[in-house]
Amino acid sequence: MPGNRTRVRLGVTAGVVAALLAQPLLAPAGIAEPATSTTAAVEQGRNRVARVVYNLGDQVFTSPSLPEPMELAAVVHYPTNLGRTAHPLVVQLHGSWWTCADRAAEADYRTGLATGDDELVERASAALGGWPCAPGVPALPSYRGYDYLGEQLAGHGFVVVSISANAVNASMPGMNAYAARAELVNKHLAMWQQLVSTGTGELAGRFTDPDTGRPRRVDFRGRVDLTRVGTLGHSRGGKAVMWQASDKHRAEWPSGVRVRAVLPLAPVYFHYPEDDISDDLVTTVPFKVVLGSCDGDTGTAGTGYLADARGRNPDISSVTIPGANHNFFNTQWSPDSGQVLAADDAEGLRDPATGQCHTADTAPVRQLTEDEQRRIAAAEIVSFFRDKLG
């Protein structure tokens, strides 16, 4: 039976962890733009890597599932020398977080929590979580929190597009949020399909250098293979990429696009009573769930995808990284970034006496540092997409 070939790994061995920690890792992205210039390409894998960004506007796309218009913005990591062959595409989608890097609102929020001023907390939350952001307040770039993954993957020959979903986070209309996130993924894929096929469309001429803001010309025509697409979603983004790849919703993929690999990273997993599992049940596309044993947000909820697909999908797997929390997968959400309201979600899971942390169903272990966690995660993620996308 197909289900007998299902691969489920429950953890990373100590030897594997030690080997991965001995490998070098790129420095994480900063608060806004990483310090490394795109003109000084980063050495990763066998390819030198460059990046560009595009931003078509904060309120330019309305999906069937979300009445509020969404932004179309992303960062693209790609091999500097695209050569003459078509590269697989990986789309990255962040989860639910604050949307506006408002320092004054952050101070009010913390004050309100400390003093029990609920009205102050509510006002500050509205400023921190609204969309678009107030004039003069920068958007919190959650989509840049996976630059370390984009650089690693591009170094191994992938074109990687990490997309912004702040408008969805500001709306959060129940289960419609996952449909909206999936529709946002499909919109970006449709734009890439047109650009790669014809050199025209909404993305034509819209790439800029993230450091200088100057236009950058990159010819992706014929250099990206939209029949070899992988998707990665973190947190609520994990449920969204399962939704987008599900048997039920695959007919919504843009023409010429084929998703061949899905990776939910520390994903949420739940259903409202009126829903069934079909919205995010994936039985025809390989997927791998990556979890952390010190995740103070979603825990190991993502194993629910394995339970639902076991026996129906012959190519599923899971790995739990000992000592990994939830936020450290995204550099923008992690304390070392200095970003607004960045936090370590494992604090409540740590034993003050030993410094070890664990969820209800994992063993106590030393918590990984931000760099350690990303090094191990990058190795797992790159390995998966290289295996499935080739």
**pTM for the whole structure:** 0.89
pLDDT digits 0-9 by tens, 230-267? 999 999 999 999 999 999 999 999 999 999 999 999 99
Q: What helix, strand, coil percent values describe the chain, rounded to 5?
A: 35, 20, 45
Same domain? For 118 and 183 the reply is: no
The per-type count for the chain, helices as H runs and strands as E runs, is: 9, 13
Same domain? For 253 and 323 the reply is: yes
Same domain? For 313 and 291 the reply is: yes
* 143 contact partners, CB below 8 Å, separation of at least 6: 73, 74, 75, 92, 94, 162, 163, 164, 165
What pLDDT tens digit does each residue of the chain (390 aa) get?
Answer: 223 323 333 344 444 444 444 444 333 322 223 323 332 344 456 789 999 999 999 999 999 999 899 999 999 999 999 999 999 999 999 999 999 999 999 999 999 999 999 999 999 999 999 999 999 999 999 999 999 999 999 999 999 999 999 999 999 777 789 999 999 999 999 999 999 999 999 999 999 999 999 999 999 999 999 999 999 999 999 999 999 999 999 999 999 999 999 999 999 998 766 667 999 999 999 999 999 999 999 999 999 999 999 999 999 999 999 999 999 999 999 999 999 999 999 999 999 999 899 998 899 999 999 999 999 999 999 999 999 998
Same domain? For 236 and 327 the reply is: yes
Query: Is residue 141 within 8 Å of 164, Cβ to Cβ?
Result: yes
What single-letter DSSP state applies at residue 285? Answer: S
Task: Supply 33's token pair.
Answer: 């733009």
Same domain? For 200 and 292 the reply is: yes
Same domain? For 305 and 223 the reply is: yes
Same domain? For 245 and 179 the reply is: yes
CATH number at residue 343: 3.40.50.1820
Same domain? For 63 and 110 the reply is: no
pLDDT digits 0-9 by tens, 194-238? 999 999 999 999 999 999 999 999 999 999 999 999 999 999 999
What single-letter DSSP state applies at residue 331? Answer: G
Same domain? For 12 and 79 the reply is: yes
pLDDT digits 0-9 by tens, 192-202? 999 999 999 99
Q: In the listed set 112, 138, 164, which residue is the last one of a domain according to the structure?
A: 138
Same domain? For 134 and 238 the reply is: no
Identify the H or E element spanning 303.
helix 303-309
Q: In the listed set 113, 138, 163, which residue is the last one of a domain according to the structure?
A: 138
Q: For residue 122, give its domain range.
A: 101-138
Same domain? For 344 and 326 the reply is: yes
Domain count, the chain: 2
Provide the β-strand partners of residue 51.
77
Read off the amino acid at residue 263: L
Burial label for 244, CB within 10 Å (0-12, 13-18, 19+), is buried
Same domain? For 367 and 278 the reply is: yes
